[in-house]
Structure 1
Amino acid sequence: MKICYLVLVARTANFTDHAATEHVRFLDEVRARDQLLITGGFTDKTGGAYVLHNVADRAAAQAIVDADPLLVLGSATATVHEWSTR
């Protein structure tokens, strides 16, 4: 069993394309550290999700999410769920 962190992201009314561009760069950096397993947007454009792995604990996962430009720039909110995978 492996512990991962499912991050559900919801766009706010303040969403901007600039924040989305910075979000993609941010995720590329997380992927380069081998902490991003998968990511994608919802087809209805209301947000998306990503899965973090190789992260020490939930607090470390939350710290990564808190640095996401989508949240920092007020373009989205996010919830982090600890997820037991097989």
Structure 2
Amino acid sequence: MNRYLILVMRRPHYDPAMVQPHKDFLEGLRAGGKLEMSGPFSDKSGGAYLLFAENFDEALRIAHSDPAHTSGGWDITVYEWQAR
């Protein structure tokens, strides 16, 4: 498994009602062993999560199924992260 850093940055028109579905999505990933850690940025601009996936395509597929992405209210960027 590889690690992928997912940056989730709020757009000006994001829907606050989508925050809870996003959190629920992350909890589902955590329960499934796909999420190492997650959290918001202190300035409320967005957040990040560290995802386990077999490859970049899988990480992108997972990140693009996040309600933060599907709602159109956040910009999602995926990086393969070779953290130690």
TM (norm. structure 1) is: 0.92
* Offset at residue 56 of structure 1 (A): 1.0
- Tell me if 1:6 matches 2:5: yes
Residues 1-86 of structure 1: matches in 2 within 5 Å?
A: 3-53=2-52, 55-86=53-84
- For the aligned residue pairs, the C-alpha RMSD in angstroms reads 1.1
Q: How many residues align?
A: 84
Q: Structure 2: any 5+ residue segments left out of the alignment? A: none
- 1:82 and 1:38 map into 2 onto residues whose CA distance is 15
Please state how far the C-alpha of 1:76 moved relative to its aligned partner: 0.2
TM-score (norm 2): 0.94
Cα shift readout 1:24-64 (whole Å, capped 9, x = no counterpart): 010011111100000000110000000001x1101000000
CA distance in 2, matches of 1:66, 1:79: 9
Which whole-Å CA distance do the structure 2 matches of 1:22 and 1:68 have between them? 8
Q: 1:3 deviation in Å? A: 2.8
Which residue type is aligned with residue 48 of structure 2?
A
Cα deviation for residue 13 of structure 1 reads 1.5
Are the counterparts in 2 of residues 9 and 78 from structure 1 also a CA contact under 8 Å?
Answer: yes
Percent identity, aligned pairs only, is 36
> How many Å separate the matches in 1 of 2:69 and 2:77?
11
Unaligned stretches of 5+ in structure 1? none
